Amino acid sequence: MNINEYLKKGNKPPRRSIKKKPEKPRKLVTIDTRGPDGNAFSAASIVARKLRKEGREQEARKVEKNVINAISYESALAILEEYAEIIK
């Protein structure tokens, strides 16, 4: 049965579902790397503190561990960008 026959029988056309764009996770905090918070360890501390305030202790530990083990400043910032808006 094609669509025209389907509609002639009094049926309504099938509704298409509208796919919503996935929401971006909100950033916890904004960190300006040009100022005193530009140090990667300082920035990690700020992010971890904010995570702990929200009851996300395991994520806070993960952030701290990953930043400490980062091989460069840029890779540390990349880790922090998951949680914070980084201003360069």
Assigned domain for 83 exists: yes
Total number of domains constituting the chain: 1
The alpha carbon of 79 is separated from its chain's Cα centroid by a whole number of angstroms, namely 11
pTM equals 0.68
Assigned domain for 8 exists: no
Assigned domain for 43 exists: yes
Assigned domain for 81 exists: yes
Nearest-CA neighbor of 67 among 82, 87, 52?
82
Which pLDDT score is estimated for 17? Answer: 65
Assigned domain for 15 exists: no
pLDDT averaged per 10 residues in sequence order, the chain, 88 residues: 71 67 74 86 93 93 95 94 90
Assigned domain for 3 exists: no
Assigned domain for 12 exists: no
Nearest-CA neighbor of 51 among 40, 63, 39, 35?
63
Structural domain span for residue 34: 24-87
